Amino acid sequence: MKSLRGGRVFSDERSAHGQGFDRLKTPEEPEDYSARASNSSVMSPRDVDSPTVADPSSPFAKSPWSCHMVAPVDESFDYSPNVLMGSLVREEGHIYSLAASGDLLYTGSDSKNIRVWKNQKEFSGFKSNSGLVKAIIISGEKIFTGHQDGKIRVWRVSSKNGSVHKRTGNLPRLKDYIKCSFNPSNYVEVRRHRNVLWIKHFDAISCLSLSEDKSLLYSSSWDKTFKVWRILDSKCLESVIAHDDAVNAIIAGFDSLVFTGSADGTVKVWRREYQGKVTKHFFSQTLLKQEYAVTALAVNSDATVVYSGSSDGLVNYWDREKHLSHSGVLRGHKLAVLCLIAAGRLVLSGSADKGICVWRRDGGNHTCLSVLTGHNGPVKCLAAEKDNGTEPSGERRWIVYSGSLDKSVKMWRVSEAAPPMQRVQQHYTSDGKAMPTTLQYAPSFSTQGRISQKKS
């Protein structure tokens, strides 16, 4: 029996140390990675070799929250700032969404529960009652969650007890829904012989994003639309039919621009304009048009670069300084990119190949610093917060959380000052299979985050 009471952090089955901890298991990977794709993922050439991590069968890997107290490593090895700090494991569902705010981490899964973690321990939790949690976003004291059933739920932290979260309503509000339903002109045809109100999504919510000034909430859906909500009064201001297939990602960027990515293989730009008291979004341009589904979007913190991940494992990017002209491609994954985040000068991409590529932007170029491995399932979501701990002079570090379909969340410390990985040219046989490759000096990550230089 798994306990949901008494503040238990992990399930109470099969403890190796009698502490109610579960070891991490390898789940059966679902066929649906929760981002609709018009085309299946294919192998794409890589120019980065993944470093290895500790043996997953070791006691270190079995620990739900590991502090890496292992045998000392030769002091002559160089330290790597990119290190796995630990894992949060509560086997109640695949992890589909993450949101970090200060010392709190919110996790959403297909168990319908939203868990709140503080200092690597379970702090609180609340249940949505329907629909797996596909997106979480925090705006002040409000928490918005998007669900598979097409609903957006609104939660608020109790002013008396920070561990208590109360649901304050849904988007759209019930009174707005009823009022809107009386007018026949508010119905739109979505399928033959089926009409729905324009203010409500009728398919799964795929992504949530906040405007630059935090006054608007954007929601994208598999129903091919994105909707605009005013946070102050939870009113739906606009619904835009954006694509010919499911909208997998949306992000509000710079200069009042909004970017959307779809299973139809396109990345589109929308311009927000105010017409009196009315907010309207107009189509501006198409950044990308390809046969592979677009699965993730990110905008860097300096608001100068837009990134998109696709089901072919590639990350495309566009530079604001170049008038959003195509600026390059990042190749680091064998399978579909499922999530993207930007943190300072870093860009991180999580993939169905179970790895996380860490890239650093230097001017107009990007360098792969490391490939974080350790998950036993596709990496579905990422979140990052600035590391406020002790930092070497001039170094900026980030705490990165990764959620996976292996039912775990891993916590990493990554640095913008980390040394780049050595690149290797991948060769292929005539039948398209990758040939074994070696590096003259292959970086091998130990459990303490150091790099040992081993000659091949």
pTM over 0.85: no
Q: Does residue 63 carry a pLDDT above 80?
A: no
Burial 166-189 (b: 16+ CB within 10 A, else e): eeeeebbbeebbeebeeeeeeeee
Q: How many CB atoms lie within 10 A of CB 320?
A: 19
Q: How confident is the model at residue 418 (pLDDT cuts 50, 70, 90)?
A: confident
Domains and CATH numbers, the chain: 59-455 (2.130.10.10)
Whole-angstrom Cα Rg for the chain = 22
Task: Write out pLDDT tens, residues 331-360.
Answer: 999 999 999 999 999 999 999 999 999 999
Q: Which of these ranges, 64-68, 267-271, 364-368, has the smallest mean pLDDT?
A: 64-68
HEC string for 240-289: EECCCCCEEEEEECCCCEEEEEECCCEEEEEEEEEECCEEEEEEEEEEEE
The span from the first CA to the last CA of the chain, in angstroms, equals: 48
- Tokens linked to 54: 């500790």
Return the bridge partners of 260, or none: 250, 268
Task: Write out pLDDT tens, residues 368-385.
Answer: 999 999 999 999 999 999
Query: For residue 413, which of 100, 167, 84 has the smallest C-alpha distance?
Result: 84
Phi/psi for 426 (5° steps) reads: -85, 130
Please compute the mean of the pLDDT values over residues 129-144 and round it to a whole number. 89
Q: How confident is the model at residue 440 (pLDDT cuts 50, 70, 90)?
A: very low
